[in-house]
Amino acid sequence: MVRVLSRYVRAPDLETSRPAASTRESTMADHWPPTRPWPTTGQEYGQLVVIEPTPPDGWRSNKVTMYLREASYKVMQSAFDGAGIGWQSCLVQARGNGALVLVPAQTPPQASAEPLITGLAAGIRAHNRLHNESAWLRMRMAVHMGIVCFDPAGPAGRAVQLAGALVDSAEFAGACADNCAELGFIASDQVYAEVLREPGLLIEPEMYRPIKLVAQGERILAWTYFRPSPPRPGVTRPYPVKEGVGGDARGWDADEVA
């Protein structure tokens, strides 16, 4: 089981004994950012990833919760390593059943977009193929860049708040449900302008769709991408959506997001 010993921890290694790395893994590991102590004071500019697992059947019991929590962290660790970010190089702060992940500043920002999306989607799909629907995973993921403040309790500041607001927003949760998303991705307008507008290997810039939402008391523009889940007969909303959640950007004028 994953054990979070404090709110301010380095990313846990979920494998008690890691097998000998393959040639591909060794080559990939050579490009990971070096592990270094994260600050406990001051501030620095960084990349933030917030991942929120959202099982279709919800967190029904402590036993199910802990099992899916462990499975989620395994998917995250594999995806970050596969994206060339390096799970052990990140700072991970538990956030409910999800995580706030600070990516080392020297990591290419593109790694937190398409490569991480692809890795998470593959991990979720692999997990779901081996489990019945009561243990399926879904995830929402937000990416932002900005100044992160530090104190002994962990990272804080407006950038951290905005990343959390993106992944938690009612508009995004509703869009994930409407798209039957196995993985929902949302990025701040800053990330779109500086990173996502560059063509990727599989995801072109025009595949990210704009969405208007309210975060930190302001109306802001963000960008979304969805990986749909396999259809479930008779079920139209695979996400557990709270009452009042489920809106989308259809109420905004088109020229507002142009």
Instruction: With a cut of 60, say whether residue 6 has pLDDT above it.
Output: no
Which residues fall within 8 angstroms of residue 242, CB to CB, at 6 or more apart?
none
Tell me the C-alpha distance between 169 and 178, whole Å.
14
**Quick one: pLDDT band at residue 18, thresholds 50, 70, 90?**
very low
At 191 the pLDDT is 97
pLDDT tens figures, 206-243: 999 999 998 878 899 999 999 997 665 555 544 444 33
For 143, counting Cβ atoms within 10 Å of its Cβ (0-12 exposed, 13-18 middle, 19+ buried), the class is: buried
Instruction: With a cut of 60, say whether residue 136 has pLDDT above it.
Output: yes
Q: What is the mean pLDDT of residues 116-124?
A: 97
User: What global pTM score does this model have?
Assistant: 0.78
CATH architecture group of domain 43-256: 2-Layer Sandwich (3.30)
Percent of the chain with pLDDT over 90: 59
